[in-house]
Homo-oligomer: A and B are copies of this chain.
């Protein structure tokens, strides 16, 4: 949570918080668990009206930050999505919109649809390899043949791919990267459903077999998209971090309250020193999580040269300690915390998912070391 939000940021967050509390309470999430899409399209459009997909898009593209710090703004939403374990393609729609908005803007009709919520887009970045979220290792190729771009390769996991009308595919063109907007219905695009730990977030494995689109569908320069890819990746990581911090916050508050309400051996749990000290540790992790997510978002907005390191520090720390925090909340609840009926697992699922989507904590620790090595010139 930002310590000094602007009034507009505060209002953005509160509006979304109220909307999520009213429309996707835990009972609704359990219903959506049995829904193929995991979210309701009309509901998503209502959310889009609250600004859910517009913050990372410049005003020229039809969007706009509420504070001049678009990434920080977007983390206000992500925080609430985590706090409520909310459904919906927040990450993919925002990242695709950001990509389109950053490129001149390009494909204004698609962008408009994303902004209004009528269109869902998803980003196909990660691949099945040990370090699948790092752009350096992308094996998918985008080849220029005549006036067409040919996409060949496999991507996974791709969020909400089956709901998306548009897939933004990141592939290799020679030694550079290209991003290309592929209509989901293009021949050669094959989707296979995946299973995720989350109740409502849905992912697919996507294969692109000789998929051809006109060269105009490139987003940004062909073979020159690496900086933009890195920026999208960092934005995505910060949104995931902020979302997980929201889930940590909720789990912490819930469990702290439980410790006051629950009596054992004639005393509230909150009076046991060993538990008190664990809450102190959790509070420390929680505050550190807030600090890292906020600092990383600010660093992206400011193009701080330390942004890459901060983003990976946030991903590594929040991924690891966020999950540990919610797991300890489960432990403190005891068996009830492991039941489907209890709400705690909604938060545990979200932090667990988020620590895998764009790189695990271990991968981000290595990334930090790699950044240090670059710096040290070795």
Q: Which residues of A contact B (CB under 8 A)?
A: 272-274, 276-277
Contact = CB atoms under 8 A, between A and B. Distances in A.
A273 B277 CA distance: 10
A272 to B, nearest CB: 6
6 contacts: A272-B273, A273-B273, A273-B274, A274-B274, A274-B276, A274-B277
6 smallest A-B Cβ distances: which pairs?
A273-B273, A273-B274, A274-B277, A274-B274, A272-B273, A274-B276
A277 B277 CA distance: 11
Contacts of A274: 273-274, 276-277
Contacts of A273: 272-274
A272 B277 CA distance: 11
A269 to B, nearest CB: 12
A272 B274 CA distance: 8
A257 to B, nearest CB: 21
A274 B273 CA distance: 6
A169 to B, nearest CB: 35
Contacts of A272: 273
A274 B272 CA distance: 8
Contacts of A276: 274
Contacts of A277: 274
